[in-house]
Amino acid sequence: MKTQHIKKTMMILIVSVSSVLLWQSCTQQEQSRTYSDLTSEVTGEVIAELTDAPFVPARITAKHNTKVIVHLEVIEQPMRLADGVEYTFWTFGGKVPGKFIRVRQGDQVEFHLHNHPDNMLPHNIDLHAVTGPGGGAEASLVAPGKSAQFSFRALNQGLYVYHCATAPVGMHIANGMYGLILVEPLEGLPAVDHEFYVMQSEFYTSGGFGQKGHQEFDMQKALDERPDYVVMNGAVGASAGENAMKVKVGESVRLYLGNGGPNLVSSFHVIGEIFDKVYVEGGTLINRDVQTTLIPAGGSAIAEFTCEVPGTLHLVDHSIFRAFNKGALAQIKVVGDENHQVFTGKEKEEVYLPEGSAIQRISSGKQAAASSEPIPEKSLNERLEAGAILYKQNCMACHMDHGGGIPGTFPTLVNSDFLKARADKGIGIILEGLQGEITVNGSNYNNIMPAVALNDDQVASILTYVFNRFENGGGHIKAAEVAEWRNKK
């Protein structure tokens, strides 16, 4: 009995010792293979597949070092930041965040940065995945209409941010110049059902959150780190609602997460999921069963989970006002059958009435009815005050803050002979729009102003403001006049 026991222990010992040895030699071999592999010859050549968020290029199947050619084009262009809100973004590839780049450790990357000829500014690229001066920035500074080329070897695996590093760096990043590059480990990442790309960032706009029209970059807000927008994938709702990422119940998901900043650190969280696995900061350290993971500005993380139940998952920055008031929200829609083992859904709903409280009804309809009741006429001062705000929201985008417009495109409202000569005091221009050839203070315009949907009270306030503040001879336009004009039509 006893000898047998000893024998057994010995056996286990021998097996485990030898397996430790074996394992050690394995890792040693792995390491030396890694090293030689990284410096060994490159075979074959491919043009990198690049994708816009939330999509990710296909997994790399090659088992050798490859020459990967990347063509990335910088494009400056106005695009949607939120509904009715436009912003001139500076982009790597036409969207914010920039194109997702995927290579394998050991690959030789030949990078071509193209600066579109219509752009205003020089740009460059600093890839955090590059070992070399400035991450490629020095080698890639390129003027509008030109291209730059440089090469690097992807030595370290991981998920890396890239960004523009042209002076003033903060402004280039604040305008949208960042993206992610994944360097897959030699053995590749384990297969999952879906991979998505989500990158958080902030925007600092001249008008507050939701203010309509074209917004300018606000330097002071950027310095104060007071963003108006914190968004996932470059715009409010870019990957939510209709544009939500879609998966099926039971499928596994890997998220490549980045934070372009320029200032804020993200407390990344998925409402309704627990991360089974997080590659902390996009590196090789793995943490498990994580609720919220930190993504530094200019940093990343990889998160994995499996979707067990149907529903909508909300991807948020858990600095939660950013999610609900500034736009930091993306969604994954999980479709399929309920799994009551995991989540039961709502089992029962009942009214909760703390002691002593009376039943409260949420009034509905009343509000809407009230607004159709006539609004009392405002005083001149009230009109000017309301008009100042309404002007900013509805007219400033084209006629500019100062009313001077943009020569050749949007006519001036300042001391406008055209406006002053109109019998309708401009009411018709706002309600019906204006197009065709006109002459304002000696300059010709032939453009289109769309009709602006405002009520009588609002039109009266805006015009009163325009007549008084932009040297058009003053006056007080009443809502009743606007109503009269409307009824005459």
CB of 471 to other proteins, least distance (A): 10
> Are the C-beta atoms of residues 264 and 230 closer than 8 Å to each other?
yes
Residue 322 contacts which entry, Cu ion, ligand HEC, other proteins, none (Cβ below 5-8 A, type-dependent): none
User: What is the helix, strand, coil percentage profile of the chain, to 5?
Assistant: 25, 30, 40
Which residue from 258, 199, 263, 257 is spatially nearest to 227, judged by alpha carbons?
Answer: 263
Please identify, among the stretches 96-104, 132-140, 229-237, 279-287, the one whose residues bind other proteins according to the rule CB under 8 A: 132-140
CA distance 345 to 343: 6
What angle, rounded to 10 degrees, do the helices at 479-488 and 456-469 form? 120
> Are the C-beta atoms of residues 101 and 179 closer than 8 Å to each other?
yes
Burial class (CB in 10 A: 0-12, 13-18, 19+), 442: exposed
Q: What value does the CA radius of gyration of the chain take, rounded to a whole number of Å?
A: 30
CA distance 248 to 270: 17
CA distance 43 to 244: 39
CA distance 14 to 16: 5
**String of contacts with Cu ion for each residue 77-116, x by CB under 5 A:** ----------------------------------------
**String of contacts with other proteins for each residue 204-233, x by CB under 8 A:** ----------x-xx-xx--x----------
Residue 464 contacts which entry, Cu ion, other proteins, ligand HEC, none (Cβ below 5-8 A, type-dependent): none
Window 298 to 327, contacts with ligand HEC (CB under 6 A): none
Window 400 to 459, contacts with ligand HEC (CB under 6 A): 410-413, 416, 418-419, 426, 429-430, 434-436, 438, 440, 445-450, 452
Site membership for other proteins, residue 262 (CB under 8 A): no
> Are the C-beta atoms of residues 65 and 56 closer than 8 Å to each other?
no
- In DSSP terms, which residues pair with 329 in a beta bridge? 316
Q: Give the position of tokens 């939330």.
A: 54
CB of 174 to Cu ion, least distance (A): 10
What angle, rounded to 10 degrees, do the helices at 380-394 and 456-469 form? 100
Please identify, among the stretches 106-114, 132-140, 173-181, 250-258, the one whose residues bind Cu ion according to the rule CB under 5 A: 173-181
CB of 382 to ligand HEC, least distance (A): 18
* List 65, 105, 115, 166, residue binding Cu ion (CB under 5 A): 166
Residues contributing to the site for Cu ion (CB under 5 A): 123, 164, 166, 172, 177
Residues contributing to the site for other proteins (CB under 8 A): 76-78, 87-88, 117-122, 124, 126, 133-134, 137-146, 165-169, 171, 214, 216-217, 219-220, 223, 400-404, 406-408, 412, 414
Residues contributing to the site for ligand HEC (CB under 6 A): 394-395, 397-399, 410-413, 416, 418-419, 426, 429-430, 434-436, 438, 440, 445-450, 452, 462, 466
